[in-house]
């Protein structure tokens, strides 16, 4: 039976179940697809009071905009080694946005996905989309559960090594974008979502952090003899500006994403002590031992046991009592972040500029954590 390809929702069913509609239902918010700024999605226009802040971080925000256009462009031409279609990429982005329950992102990616034709109605295509969606949902919501078997399932449905690296970059980027958007909306005083989302992320078990083990890639890294000049240039840039240099040859399967990822790193000033602690909180919750072990600051031993242990240890330090819950909330459930989570930090003398830097650091840490968890094992 020859598969048929219809627009709308019919791609979710076998063709004997599908019902073709001559007129496709429009997205709920069609204007969301036409955002000029595809990173903050109009928040800069709504946050006039934060204009000086946006100006100060303009290079970082521009790098985020460039990443959005790079990872989720208007058109995609699949090849033999890069088989992901635009539908695949936007469906992945929408899944991550829905997991994080950031309404602004959901509206944008849903509106962009709506007019696209989905995969054909064959069992293989549906299975491929199902595995990609499941992987995106797990990596976005609970990075610690991802293992080599998850990558094997993607390989079994036809994704290549460059495809897997790209999809991990998209999941990491949209997860970071969700947290930056949530942080900005909380600073403006806007609600992040309309209805509560899924349950909060469960912290990774302390047992993962009991012993230090070497990180090993689950995919074959790019070999130097096969690397193009563009890939070599991206690897060099990543090794100069990023902490996860051991991943550069693996991430080079998608050299454009690697270059954009390292460019975003390079726009940030060296991390302060507070920012390093916030990143460590994110790594502890996400279960990224490789990222966590780079932290050598106060309360590292207590944090290794759990976030609550660190809070108990610093109960006489008001600034730490404000910082750790903020970083934990932004990591676990960005949709529930509100101005109430920011007020304790502001009361301790943290400026809005320092606060937004913390938001960016937690967002970027989550992206790095997800890359480490998805593409390697300890």
* Strand positions, DSSP E, 181-234: 216-217
Structural tokens at position 245:
């240099």
SS3 377: strand
The Cα–Cα gap between 159 and 170 comes to: 15
List residues bridging with 377 in a β-sheet. 216
Cα 3 to the chain's mean position, in Å? 34
Q: In angstroms, what CA-CA distances link 54 with 37, 43, 62, 80, 359?
A: 13, 10, 10, 41, 13
Q: What is the pLDDT of residue 244?
A: 64
pLDDT beneath 50, residues of the chain? 1-22
Q: What is the pLDDT of residue 238?
A: 85
Q: What is the pLDDT of residue 5?
A: 45
Q: What is the 3-state secondary structure (H, E, C) of 37-105?
A: CCCCCCHHHHCHHHHHHHHHCHHHHHHHHHHHHHHCCCCCCCCCCCCCCHHHHHHHHHHHHHHHCCHHH
Q: What is the pLDDT of residue 273?
A: 95
Structural tokens at position 127:
């299975």
Q: Mark out the alpha helices in the chain (DSSP H runs).
A: 43-46, 51-56, 58-71, 86-100, 103-113, 123-141, 148-156, 161-188, 229-241, 248-251, 255-266, 273-286, 289-292, 300-305, 307-313, 318-332, 339-347, 352-375
Q: Which residues contact 235 (CB under 8 A, 6 or more apart)?
A: 227, 248, 249, 252, 255, 258
Q: Which residues contact 308 (CB under 8 A, 6 or more apart)?
A: none
Judge contact between 165 and 375, C-beta under 8 A: yes
User: What's the pLDDT tens digit per position in 176-230?
Assistant: 999 999 999 999 988 766 665 566 788 888 888 888 778 888 999 999 999 999 9
Q: In angstroms, what CA-CA distances link 78 with 24, 85, 154, 174, 228?
A: 26, 6, 17, 21, 19
User: What's the pLDDT tens digit per position in 6-51?
Assistant: 444 444 433 334 444 445 566 666 667 778 889 999 898 888 889 9
Question: Which residue has tokens 């004997």?
Answer: 16
The Cα–Cα gap between 53 and 48 comes to: 10
Q: What is the pLDDT of residue 47?
A: 80
The pTM for the full model equals 0.90
Q: Nearest 5°: phi and psi at 316? A: -95, 10
Q: What is the pLDDT of residue 242?
A: 60
- Structural domains of the chain ordered from first start: 221-253+263-267 (no CATH), 270-377 (1.20.1290.10)
């Amino acid at each position: 039976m020859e598969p048929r390809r219809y627009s709308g929702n019919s791609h979710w069913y076998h063709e004997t179940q599908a019902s073709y509609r001559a007129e496709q239902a429009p997205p709920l918010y069609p204007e969301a697809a036409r955002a000029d700024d595809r990173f903050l999605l109009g928040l800069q226009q709504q946050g006039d009071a934060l204009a000086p802040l946006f100006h100060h971080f303009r290079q970082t925000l521009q790098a985020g905009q460039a990443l959005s256009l790079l990872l989720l462009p208007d058109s995609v031409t699949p090849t033999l080694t890069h088989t992901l279609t635009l539908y695949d990429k936007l469906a992945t982005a929408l899944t991550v946005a829905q997991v994080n329950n950031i309404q602004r992102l959901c509206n944008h990616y849903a509106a962009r996905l709506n007019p696209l034709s989905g995969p054909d109605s064959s069992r293989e295509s549906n299975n491929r989309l199902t595995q990609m969606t499941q992987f995106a949902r797990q990596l976005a919501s609970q990075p610690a559960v991802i293992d080599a078997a998850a990558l094997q399932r993607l390989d079994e449905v036809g994704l290549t090594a460059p495809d897997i690296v790209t999809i991990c970059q998209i999941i990491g980027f949209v997860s970071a974008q969700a947290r930056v958007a949530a942080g900005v909306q909380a600073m403006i005083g806007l609600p992040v979502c309309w209805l509560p989302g899924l349950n909060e992320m469960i912290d990774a078990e302390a047992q993962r952090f009991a012993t230090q083990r070497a990180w090993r890639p689950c995919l074959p890294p790019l070999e130097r003899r096969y690397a193009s000049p563009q890939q070599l240039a991206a690897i060099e840039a990543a090794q100069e500006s990023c902490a996860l240099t051991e991943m550069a040859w693996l991430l080079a399967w998608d050299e454009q994403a690697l270059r954009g990822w390292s460019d975003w790193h390079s726009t940030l000033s060296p991390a302060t002590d507070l920012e390093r602690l916030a990143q460590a909180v994110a790594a502890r919750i996400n279960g990224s031992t490789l990222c966590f072990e780079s932290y050598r600051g106060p309360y590292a031993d207590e944090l290794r046991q759990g976030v609550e242990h660190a809070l108990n240890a610093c109960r006489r330090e008001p600034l730490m009592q404000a910082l750790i819950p903020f970083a934990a909330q932004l990591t676990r459930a960005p949709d529930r972040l509100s101005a109430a989570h920011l007020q304790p930090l502001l009361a301790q003398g943290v400026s809005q500029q320092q606060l937004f830097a913390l938001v960016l650091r937690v967002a970027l840490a989550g992206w790095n954590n997800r890359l480490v968890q998805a593409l390697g094992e300890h």
